[in-house]
Amino acid sequence: MSEVVSLERRGPIAVITVNNPPVNALGQAVREGLQKSFAAAEADAAVQAVVLVCEGNTFIAGADIKEFGKPPMAPSLPEVIEGLEACSKPSVAVIHGTALGGGLEVALGCHYRIARKDSQVGLPEVKLGLLPGAGGTQRLPRVAGVAKALDMIVSGAPIKAAEALQFNIVDELFEGDLREAGIAYAQKLIAEGRGARRTGEQSAALEGVDNAALVAAKHAEVAKRMRGLFSPLRCIAAVEASFSLPLSEGLKRERELFTECLSSPQRAALVYSFFSERQAAKVEGLDPKTPTRAFDKVAVIGGGTMGVGIALSFANAGIPVRILEISSEARDKAMERASGTYAASVKRGSLTQDAMDKRMALVTGVTDYADLADVDLVIEAVFEDMGVKQKVFEQLDAVCKPGAILASNTSSLDLNVIAGFTKRPQDVVGLHFFSPANVMRLLEVVRAEKTSDEVLATALAIGKKLKKVSVVVGVCDGFVGNRMVFQYGRESEFLLEEGATPEQVDGALKDFGMAMGPTAMRDLSGLDIGWSIRKRQRQELPAEYKLPVLLDKLCEAGWLGQKTGKGFFVYEAGNRNPQPNPDLQPLLEAASREQGIERRQLSAEYIIERTIYALINEGAKILEEGIAQRASDIDVIYLNGYGFPAYRGGPMFYAEQIGLDKVLARIQEFHAEHGAWWKPAPLLVKLASEGRTFSDWNGQ
């Protein structure tokens, strides 16, 4: 049939094999090969049953995402699946790995399905801004019921094979050889005289189940939980058609809704984000075959919030980790913090007690550097002061074995200087975790001037093992994420001096899709951190870089944010939800007066431009300086570390969707109005004038 789909006869059984590495995606050749192979099996009088199996690590993992946005190529997947289902001879799909999206839809078009015990099935299209567009919204409810179908399709989360069996999505579980299992099942079908069992001919209506009520409840849940997303509501509408319309009408309705999603800007952003995350793992000039070092024994220096979070990341990955503190009291406190963190998860039900015990057994507290002599990797997470870092790295250099990797979690200090405290700068790298380190997926891997390729490759392997999203960044103040967030935070503070309230600034940005508003975020991290940076800036920055004065007023009043129960917002004891601060207005007005500003009403759109464009402008500078390899790396950082909405792709993608010329024009206006901070990034000026985008800039 084709090199990606083959057909062989095993007695009365036709075995159709898909072999399209790496994930057997349903590109045009696969769709055509499936259509021709099933037609050939149907026409072959000697064939009594058909087995569909895949080579490689997984059954079909979906449509070929690379095809989205391009002109459709026949045959379409719905057409192929309808052909499979119409066959008169019973067909069985043999699932292994992850049957996802179009892959599960193909399996549902087959008459029977068996799954290897360790496999998973799912319809993750909603995560790409889509919905299952090849019958999944019509066929899954017919086998699993509307409630389960709604859960799977709206969440996009896969389920394990055992659960799929429980919900009749698969008929049997197996272990061992895929083909043999499929052929054995097909022989059983023949022996028992079980013919074609078409999913589409079954009904989604279940005795005693009010499907309309299920749809209404899911609507209410999505409206609350998936604010701003385009496709979840269309997923629900498509599933509704599975019981309110006959199959042919339901498939038409699904196609209409799928087409709406396909053309939405959110689909473009979410597909971009899918590939950007995978692209980030590819480092220009770093041979993917670079050898990596073992990291079976790990130590963390510092048992504060960050140090313990980092240590738990390793325990969660099954790696033993030592936390070194300066005294037995501090060590014991760190261990309590570790067990307390796990205990909270057990209380929430997200971790079993047994799992907690297993993980805690991997964490030990020490106080003597001599205990680190055999570790493969040390991560320093001590106070952000160069003097303290120097002492730590000099001790590590003296104690750790040759080849041990010495990593710093510093969020802004110069890693080249830190590496210089050791005789082994080639073994020094930055591993910048984001708080809470055991939860946040982002890991900025900071490549210092002398960091060796092997250490860099190992740092990426560490990130993968910890299930982090790693992005390689260069050395500068704040690397990528924090350097940009400084601009964003400063602008949000200026807006408060110009007339906005914290509720308006945060409200506008939460409506934009940010997980948290900038003022609530600064309350969370502690206003004193920004205050000490602000005081340093007052000493160092040239006069034309005007600074807000509001933060100083809050800190002078002792309002440091959540830690004092009062900052831009107020916080009741035990409640982290920000409430308006009734005593703030006089400080806002005093700050405006001091800055000589007449307070005025600011629109939400203006608030978005002054904050998000500040990210974009700094991102363009970072890109031009080579601190980030590519614009999409900056976007991956913002999606995974700063709560930027994935359905907008990231600040750089968002700029491209608006148009760099339009973004530049507004930045030039801000520059005229607000001075030096808004000097347009030269790269932005260049690309806008050439009609190019960040994505197509490769340094020229």
- Phi/psi at 21 (5° precision): -60, 155
* Subset of 258-277 contacting ligand T1G (CB under 6 A): 275
Q: Is 240 in the site for ligand T1G (CB under 6 A)?
A: no
Active-site residue, selected from the candidate residues 32, 42, 85, 125: 125
Q: Is 22 in the site for ligand T1G (CB under 6 A)?
A: yes
- In whole angstroms, how close is the CB of 210 to ligand T1G at the nearest point? 27
- In whole angstroms, how close is the CB of 672 to ligand T1G at the nearest point? 43
Tokens of 511: 């409506």
Q: Which helix (H) or strand (E) holds 407?
A: strand 405-408
Tokens of 372: 């680190």
* Residue that is written with structure tokens 């099935």 in the block: 121
Which of these ranges, 20-28, 161-169, 369-377, 532-540, lies near ligand T1G under the rule CB under 6 A?
A: 20-28
Q: Is 574 in the site for ligand T1G (CB under 6 A)?
A: no
Q: According to CB under 6 A, which one of 124, 303, 474, 649 is a site residue for ligand T1G?
A: 124
Q: According to CB under 6 A, which one of 1, 4, 13, 25 is a site residue for ligand T1G?
A: 25
CA distance to 124, 268, 470, per residue, from 177 (Å):
27, 39, 36
Q: Is 133 in the site for ligand T1G (CB under 6 A)?
A: yes
Which of these ranges, 19-27, 500-508, 559-567, 614-622, lies near ligand T1G under the rule CB under 6 A?
A: 19-27
d(CA 17, CA 3): 10
Q: According to CB under 6 A, which one of 5, 41, 51, 77 is a site residue for ligand T1G?
A: 77
Which of these ranges, 41-49, 126-134, 240-248, 315-323, lies near ligand T1G under the rule CB under 6 A?
A: 126-134
Q: According to CB under 6 A, which one of 17, 30, 48, 64 is a site residue for ligand T1G?
A: 64
- DSSP for 602-627? --HHHHHHHHHHHHHHHHHHHHHHTS
Nearer to ligand T1G, 54 or 306 (CB): 54
d(CA 232, CA 230): 6
d(CA 585, CA 502): 10
Q: According to CB under 6 A, which one of 29, 40, 65, 608 is a site residue for ligand T1G?
A: 65
- DSSP for 352-389? -HHHHHHHHTTEEEE--GGGGTT-SEEEE---S-HHHH
Q: Is 134 in the site for ligand T1G (CB under 6 A)?
A: yes
Q: According to CB under 6 A, which one of 62, 430, 502, 578 is a site residue for ligand T1G?
A: 62
* Subset of 575-614 contacting ligand T1G (CB under 6 A): none
Q: Is 514 in the site for ligand T1G (CB under 6 A)?
A: no
Is 125 noted as a catalytic residue in this protein? yes
- In whole angstroms, how close is the CB of 78 to ligand T1G at the nearest point? 8
Site string for ligand T1G, 84-103 (x = CB under 6 A): --------------x-xxx-
Is 79 noted as a catalytic residue in this protein? no
Secondary structure of 314-351 as H, E, C letters: HHHCCCCEEEECCCHHHHHHHHHHHHHHHHHHHHHCCC
- Nearest to 120, CA basis, from 143, 95, 148: 95
CA 686 vs. chain centroid, Å, equals 31
Do residues 52 and 26 lie in contact, with contact meaning Cβ atoms separated by under 8 Å?
no
Tokens of 277: 């995350």
Q: According to CB under 6 A, which one of 278, 464, 538, 662 is a site residue for ligand T1G?
A: 278
Q: Is 23 in the site for ligand T1G (CB under 6 A)?
A: yes
d(CA 283, CA 286): 5
Do residues 432 and 410 lie in contact, with contact meaning Cβ atoms separated by under 8 Å?
yes
Q: According to CB under 6 A, which one of 5, 14, 54, 63 is a site residue for ligand T1G?
A: 63
- In whole angstroms, how close is the CB of 445 to ligand T1G at the nearest point? 17
Q: Is 493 in the site for ligand T1G (CB under 6 A)?
A: no
Nearer to ligand T1G, 65 or 658 (CB): 65
Active-site residue, selected from the candidate residues 42, 105, 380, 493: 105
Q: Is 254 in the site for ligand T1G (CB under 6 A)?
A: no
d(CA 114, CA 175): 10
DSSP structural state of residue 13:
E
Do residues 680 and 664 lie in contact, with contact meaning Cβ atoms separated by under 8 Å?
yes
Write out the catalytic residue numbers.
105, 125
* Residues in touch with ligand T1G (CB under 6 A): 22-23, 25, 58, 61-66, 77, 98, 100-102, 105, 124-125, 128, 130, 132-134, 136, 275, 278
